[in-house]
Amino acid sequence: MSSNSSATLVQLQDVRFAYGERVILRGIDLDIPRGKVVAIMGGSGCGKTTLLRLIGGQLRASGGTVNVAGQDLSRLSTRELYALRRRMGMLFQFGALFTDMSVFDNVAFPLREHTDLQPELIRDLVLMKLNAVGLRGAATLKPAELSGGMARRVALARAIALDPMLIMYDEPFAGLDPISLGVIGQLIRRLNDALGASTIMVTHDILESLQIVDYVYFISEGRIVAHGTPDEIRASTDPFVQQFIHAEADGPVPFHYPAEPLAHSLLGRGAA
């Protein structure tokens, strides 16, 4: 690893992205330091997930550079990109477990695909990873038999199967009960520190996140509107951050989708 010297693992410079006409990101600059847990927050549909997929190389930025471990993603061939992805783990929003495999086979999948390890060794590794998320006893279950929180933990075990240098989480807290939510939160922090990895977490669950992360970026309308450590964020007077923390319906993030005035729509038949 040529970039070990650098303290920054992921660096985005002026990253822009659009789906056809629809502009999602309008110039994002952010750094993910090694060994830290960084949260990216924002309302639904503000481009957080797109940002993760840009870092994972599943999408290509329409402008700016995405740098991971010192490599510019836009210059990598498919083979090099795959080599880089082996050192990344990603947890999808609803786990994305392979439904036709057992929990054990799911976690063993990356090991079987990328290593020539003996079956006994793979077994031991898988059970260790499952133990780390507290689900060693569920190894023979099918994903359909798991609760949402358990599925998320299995997916986490699968994401860390190859001991990645970078773990990415897409909405790890979505749709979880408060207990599962706390469990996942603690796991994210513990695994990051135990593996010596770096973590990027995309979420809108601010209270849970502030307890476990080292740094927070706020995104709104494709731009970074605020960033800082959890303490700085709590103390922030930025109206956007205030609205987000206190869950106010209206503020810098408007309640209404942009539209013509209501009276106009109702009386003037202007939309037709």
**Residue 58 beta carbon to other proteins: minimum distance, rounded to whole angstroms:** 6
**Residue 96 beta carbon to other proteins: minimum distance, rounded to whole angstroms:** 4
- 231 lies in the site for other proteins, by CB under 8 A: no
| Closest CB to other proteins among residues 90, 216 | 90
How many residues contact other proteins, by CB under 8 A? 22
**Residue 113 beta carbon to other proteins: minimum distance, rounded to whole angstroms:** 5
Q: Distance (Å, rounded) from C-alpha 121 to C-alpha 236?
A: 50
**Residue 56 beta carbon to other proteins: minimum distance, rounded to whole angstroms:** 5
Backbone φ, ψ for residue 58 (5° rounding)? -80, -20
- Which residue among 7, 14, 60, 114 contacts other proteins (CB under 8 A)? 114
**Residue 218 beta carbon to other proteins: minimum distance, rounded to whole angstroms:** 25
**Binding letters toward other proteins, positions 140-169, x by CB under 8 A:** ---------------x--x-----------
Quick one: which of 126, 132, 121 has its CA closest to 110? 126
Q: Which residues partner with 10 through β-bridges? A: 32, 68
Q: Which stretch binds other proteins (CB under 8 A): 12-20, 61-69, 106-114, 121-129?
A: 106-114
CA distances 32 to 36, 85, 126, 213, 242, Å, are 7, 17, 29, 12, 24
- 88 lies in the site for other proteins, by CB under 8 A: yes
- Which residue among 6, 71, 93, 243 contacts other proteins (CB under 8 A)? 93
| Closest CB to other proteins among residues 162, 216 | 162
Of 37-56, which residues contact other proteins (CB under 8 A)? 56
- Which residue among 4, 77, 99, 118 contacts other proteins (CB under 8 A)? 99
Backbone φ, ψ for residue 269 (5° rounding)? 50, 35
Q: Distance (Å, rounded) from C-alpha 260 to C-alpha 75?
A: 44
What are the contacts of 64-68 at 24+ separation with CB within 8 A?
Answer: 64/12, 64/13, 64/14, 64/15, 64/16, 64/27, 64/28, 65/11, 65/12, 65/13, 65/14, 65/15, 66/10, 66/11, 66/12, 66/15, 67/10, 67/11, 67/12, 67/13, 68/9, 68/10, 68/166
- 130 lies in the site for other proteins, by CB under 8 A: no
Burial 82-101 (b: 16+ CB within 10 A, else e): eebbeebbbbbeebbbeeee
| Closest CB to other proteins among residues 7, 83 | 83
**Residue 92 beta carbon to other proteins: minimum distance, rounded to whole angstroms:** 5
Residues that bind other proteins (CB under 8 A): 56, 58, 82-83, 85-86, 88, 90, 92-94, 96-100, 109-110, 113-114, 155, 158
